[in-house]
Chains A and B, each alone.
Chain A
């Protein structure tokens, strides 16, 4: 394979979980829930997929178990952020720490190791390779297809309109009979589904679960949401851009020995620049982080 094709391939592999988490972040934040818990959805999805596949011997069942695990975590997160007056940022960070520790505890209790689950095995990996469409995993294509789907849902559907309304002014939505709690819970569950799928990809791509597997992608996704000014297309563009950068950095590192921490800092530098208002004005949803009721 030629070098440019290698780069495209590496970019899409980096981009798949990041894109999915970014889109999840857009949905959640546009409904008014600050989502720092994306990292925990990725971890739950990855662990669920690895353990589920090892347990059932089926990739499809494993992926379903991964999604279910991410949804359970997202439901917990959604209830904390809508039914209590908890601070969204603190709730998200606490959830990340909790799920990170929980996956390690599960590794110890199930596989008697602190580092990583056993590999899926050659038979399953061959089936994964056979499932590729045009050289990429089905989840990668789902991630790319999810970008227009999320954009269209927000702009052209009733749930999308209600989601935007609740993110801007929950009291107004409530006065017209739209339940803000319901909308926010559903938005966070949708974020759990999308991001959980990203987690499933992480585990299946490597062929096992290892601790801290999300590797900060949840935070990076949130940075993409901000850089993309809470809009699906631009946020997805930011995610693709950073995936390309990571892929480039990995390849350059082999040749030039530039430490990869340098390019990895870039997304956060860009985020700070965007938030500082130097490049255009980033206006978050008006009711972002605002607790409901009372």
Chain B
């Protein structure tokens, strides 16, 4: 019987049951979607099948016979290869070096660079992948880096491909190319497992879908015979009472934040932000879309004061922000949720309470003559934990011990506590499950409903179109255009973010 199968697999980490008695299979030539919320166990299951983890109980079977996988190399030798969500690549090495590492061509100890390049070029040509074997991986874009990851697996002759959230960072065009490749591999007899939490991707390429919820299989469906609502229900159960409202048509007030011709220096003499102009009004959520690295991060950092601007003006309610440092801007009403919450947003070794009072205005009474008032700090933590439903509800827990969603709740609690006029949020819901995402979106809407403004940078277009009043699209550091939610909005944004649309 040909196929990759998992039977009764259980895996626990400490007290947590990551997987409980999970069975799953993919046949040759089949594309199976493995879906579920964050923490449902999708990645754990993939890591077991690809040899990175060993199950506590249960078997992995390849073409009918049980295999013992002691490492990823064992998995590769039985034809199972995994493409990681966070690429396992070495930026300093060339494409060819990355691909052949561990099975380098050449006699004896010699590494034959020419043969490696030829091998990679031949494999790339066979699958229609566009890569230059001699390029440094660090110089490549996200989509090209993913092709290198795919080549690593294909060169090793994989018959079963496990793709962990492969579309998360890709622009729409690259997603289309990836799906074309996946279909082609399936038609050539490969079995493909596509892990995702985007249901529309399941409907786009998968024939079957297996749904995980809290470490158990909650259902298995033929995609042709199911609908999004049904699969979504299997994913989240009855936890989410009502689906999020689509679109937002909130009232729009006076201009709060005016940015004109803002330019920020980037690497190598290039401008990271190139004469960008935009306005955020009271009561408005403005989206900021773009391929990763188009200047969104630098723009938000320049507005928050973390990064300095070269030229242009920024005014909050008529007061120029550029001469102010970060603390002054915070006092003036700017709040910032950075993209990398663990590195830039929170101090993970400090407790929830301590993180909440970091950067708080001196008149808030958390300190007296330079000494922290622990009681006051603790009370602040307790209140925020209760108000924002942080779990576990322990204000003295270190932030590192919280899940991503709860860390984000703490960060948002801190940034919203001072009632900012404008919130700058970069990917505030990235990596969060549906419930936590809904909570984050609700906070943004609350702020806008109360007359604040939100600038929301993100790469998930449906999310942006759902939450925002309008979406600005960045391309190569500039604002390439504006799109309002509606028909073909996604396509128009996709065109603008890849430089295809008319410049305003």
> Which residues of A come within 8 Å of B, CB atoms?
156-162, 164-165, 168-169, 171-178, 285-286
Which range contains the number of B residues in contact with the other chain? 20 to 34
Whether the pair A169, B110 counts as a contact (CB closer than 8 A) is no
Residues of B within 8 A of A161 (CB): 93, 97, 101, 104, 111
B83 nearest CB across to chain A (Å): 11
Contact of A175 among B72, B104, B109, B111 (CB under 8 A): B72
B73 proximal to A (CB < 8 A): yes
Contact of B110 among A158, A173, A178 (CB under 8 A): A158
Whether the pair B97, A175 counts as a contact (CB closer than 8 A) is no
Contact of B111 among A160, A176, A177 (CB under 8 A): A160
Which residue of chain A has its CB nearest to the CB of B87?
A172
Residues of B within 8 A of A168 (CB): 90-93
In the bound complex, CA of A156 to CA of B105 (Å): 11
Whether the pair B102, A173 counts as a contact (CB closer than 8 A) is yes
In the bound complex, CA of A168 to CA of B90 (Å): 6
Contact of B102 among A160, A171, A178 (CB under 8 A): A178
B29 proximal to A (CB < 8 A): no
Contact of B92 among A156, A159, A164, A173 (CB under 8 A): A164
Known: A156-B110, A158-B106, A177-B102. A165 touches B90 (CB 8 A): yes
In the complex, besides A165-B101, A285-B92, 20 extra interface pairs with C-beta distance below 8 angstroms are A156-B113, A157-B109, A157-B110, A157-B111, A158-B106, A161-B97, A161-B101, A161-B104, A162-B101, A164-B92, A165-B93, A169-B89, A172-B88, A173-B101, A173-B102, A174-B71, A176-B102, A176-B103, A177-B72, A286-B91
B150 nearest CB across to chain A (Å): 15
Known: A165-B101, A172-B89. A177 touches B73 (CB 8 A): yes
Whether the pair B88, A171 counts as a contact (CB closer than 8 A) is yes
In the bound complex, CA of A174 to CA of B76 (Å): 13
| Contact bitstring B81-99, A, C-beta under 8 A = 1, else 0 | 0000000111111000100
B52 proximal to A (CB < 8 A): yes
A175 nearest CB across to chain B (Å): 5
Whether the pair B102, A169 counts as a contact (CB closer than 8 A) is no
In the bound complex, CA of A169 to CA of B110 (Å): 22
A87 nearest CB across to chain B (Å): 17
Which residue of chain A has its CB nearest to the CB of B82?
A175
Which residue of chain B has its CB nearest to the CB of A287?
B90
Contact of A176 among B72, B91, B92, B106 (CB under 8 A): B72
Q: Chain A contact residues: over half helix, strand or loop, or mixed? A: helix
In the complex, 19 of the A-B residue pairs with CB atoms within 8 angstroms, ordered by the A residue number, are A156-B113, A157-B110, A158-B111, A160-B111, A161-B97, A162-B101, A164-B93, A165-B90, A169-B88, A169-B89, A169-B90, A172-B90, A172-B101, A173-B102, A174-B72, A176-B101, A177-B103, A285-B92, A286-B90
Residues of A within 8 A of B73 (CB): 176-177
Whether the pair A175, B52 counts as a contact (CB closer than 8 A) is yes
Which 5 interchain pairs have the tightest Cβ spacing? Answer: A176-B102, A177-B73, A172-B88, A168-B90, A177-B102
Residues of B within 8 A of A158 (CB): 104, 106, 109-111
In the bound complex, CA of A161 to CA of B109 (Å): 10
Which residue of chain A has its CB nearest to the CB of B51?
A175
B447 nearest CB across to chain A (Å): 39
Q: In the complex, which of the residues A159, A161, A174, A175 has the most CB atoms of chain B within 10 Å of its own CB atom?
A: A175
Whether the pair A286, B71 counts as a contact (CB closer than 8 A) is no
B476 nearest CB across to chain A (Å): 24
Known: A171-B88, A176-B73, A177-B72. A156 touches B102 (CB 8 A): no
Residues of A within 8 A of B110 (CB): 156-158
In the bound complex, CA of A165 to CA of B111 (Å): 14
Whether the pair B90, A156 counts as a contact (CB closer than 8 A) is no
Which residue of chain B has its CB nearest to the CB of A159?
B109
Residues of A within 8 A of B76 (CB): 177
Which residue of chain B has its CB nearest to the CB of A286?
B92
In the bound complex, CA of A164 to CA of B52 (Å): 22
Which residue of chain A has its CB nearest to the CB of B72?
A175
Whether the pair A178, B113 counts as a contact (CB closer than 8 A) is no
Residues of A within 8 A of B91 (CB): 168, 286
Residues of A within 8 A of B72 (CB): 174-177
Which residue of chain A has its CB nearest to the CB of B116?
A161
Residues of B within 8 A of A159 (CB): 109
Which residue of chain B has its CB nearest to the CB of A153?
B109
Residues of B within 8 A of A169 (CB): 88-90
Which residue of chain B has its CB nearest to the CB of A176?
B102
Residues of B within 8 A of A285 (CB): 92
A247 nearest CB across to chain B (Å): 36
In the bound complex, CA of A176 to CA of B109 (Å): 18
Residues of B within 8 A of A165 (CB): 90, 93, 97, 101
In the bound complex, CA of A285 to CA of B92 (Å): 9
Known: A158-B109, A161-B101. A175 touches B88 (CB 8 A): yes
In the bound complex, CA of A156 to CA of B97 (Å): 11
In the bound complex, CA of A161 to CA of B89 (Å): 14
In the bound complex, CA of A162 to CA of B106 (Å): 14
In the bound complex, CA of A285 to CA of B91 (Å): 11
In the bound complex, CA of A181 to CA of B12 (Å): 27
In the bound complex, CA of A120 to CA of B276 (Å): 76
In the bound complex, CA of A178 to CA of B73 (Å): 9
Q: In the complex, which of the residues B52, B71, B101 has the most CB atoms of chain A within 10 Å of its own CB atom?
A: B101
In the bound complex, CA of A251 to CA of B103 (Å): 53
A150 nearest CB across to chain B (Å): 14
| Contact bitstring B246-261, A, C-beta under 8 A = 1, else 0 | 0000000000000000
In the bound complex, CA of A126 to CA of B343 (Å): 64
